[in-house]
Structure 1
């Protein structure tokens, strides 16, 4: 059993992304983590997977064999799909089922992952997660999949003996048999300018989280999503660029 006790997360001295989260996940249970943008879903999954440490509280009972699928699989991997899965199999001590073939992978398994299509890259990412035996943490796993692969993934999730935690904006997971749902409320609603940055280091994330007028909504894999007070948005953008970040989007 995995238990979260008063788990919270903040970046620097910024507002809390998560605060006082108490949850319990039973062995073999399928749980859908739901909630709006900025509600802390991805941050919660990263904490449960052990990728990110909480700023407060603790996670008890996390198993050793954990498969984590981030919302955005790291770009630029030079390893081939075959070599990457071989490496992950050695790390996890499990060869697992041939998930990649089941999902209908159509790329060159010997080509660098960075050269694959979005759909084929997602299939590699799913395959490496399913090498784990005890806990699967899947953040938007249906993204980029074709209809056939989507159906196969639904079957894999349903048949998994591991505890499964998943986010899914499509609603596919919510319709699966025996799926439980946890709705994240997130921080109080706020207005401002939504900024998404890329090429962001962990240190830079912490620094930006300390800035006045900035709320960090999510941070993962070199990407940083912010909600910034309108009055300081120009300054935040300029300072982020000087720190080596790139701006992916700005929305008011």
Structure 2
């Protein structure tokens, strides 16, 4: 997807909210949009998501898109699970798949007990869990998140981190805004700032640096694995983990924390599968061992 000289204003003579925006959004990429309040971040996300049309310029490419707005319209005539099933059907899922994924995502975000609660009766936090679930259940190619973590409890925020990492690892593009400057900071391929009505590259990825690098200053997970004799982990693993061959022949993989679950699933799902010997936080005591 590519934005070329895109501008947006409301009304024929209204002031320009954004103008001259150029942005390329390749697959398998995580992009953060930053900027102070009122600079046009939400307007940009609505343009990317296809909710608004540009007043000038052009947007080329329209992958299957899911969007979490800054404010979720909770006053709808559905229960939580009924709404998710409905959204799944809109995205083209069959009835059984839509139902199964609705249940799965409610459970992942800790809202399973509220599945039959009308949307209008949900707390703000639970309503936000439904909002992020509806964007994820159809496995979109473009995921657009506008302050999606706001209102979530700590466990649900961590789950959303993992879910975003999973989508990017699967080849999707994710674009997000969040008030926390550390949100997925080590995983982002690039950061762009909205300022003065346009978009400025704030922290472009280094030209020769691997995207979605396992290195970084944030929390990391170390995984010790054993595979076939002399084998190295397969290419294209989620999070592009660093690897180190230990004296005993085991391999130590290091990856940013949001990608750890996706990495474990990929290793266990490889053919032949890799044996997971130990998983631990980089600066913590061992958390699990098999």
TM-score with structure 2 setting the length: 0.61
2:197 aligned partner: 187
Larger radius of gyration: 2
1:138 aligned partner: 145
Determine if contact 2:32/2:188 at 8 Å carries over to the other structure.
no
- Partner of residue 173 from structure 1, selected from 174, 183, 199: 183
Q: 2:150 & 2:108 partners in 1: Cα distance?
A: 17
User: What is the CA distance between 1:172 and its match in structure 2?
Assistant: 4.0
**CA offset digits 1:17-37 (Å, max 9, x no partner):** 000100101102000111111
TM-score with structure 1 setting the length: 0.70
Q: 2:177 & 2:56 partners in 1: Cα distance?
A: 23
Q: Bigger CA drift: 158-167 or 179-188?
A: 179-188
User: What is the CA distance between 1:170 and its match in structure 2?
Assistant: 1.2
Q: 1:178 & 1:35 partners in 2: Cα distance?
A: 16
Q: 1:51 & 1:107 partners in 2: Cα distance?
A: 32
User: Is residue 2:52 matched to residue 1:52?
Assistant: yes
Q: Runs of 5+ in structure 2 lacking a partner?
A: 199-290
2:22 aligned partner: 22
**CA offset digits 1:149-183 (Å, max 9, x no partner):** 11111111112121100001112434242442111
1:87 aligned partner: 86
Q: 1:123 & 1:156 partners in 2: Cα distance?
A: 12
The structure whose RCO (Cα within 8 Å, separation 6+) is larger is 1
Q: Bigger CA drift: 155-164 or 104-113?
A: 104-113
> How well do the aligned residues superpose, as a CA RMSD in angstroms?
1.7
The within-5 A match list for 1:194-233 is none
Q: 2:116 & 2:82 partners in 1: Cα distance?
A: 8
User: Is residue 2:128 matched to residue 1:122?
Assistant: yes
User: Is residue 2:148 matched to residue 1:149?
Assistant: no
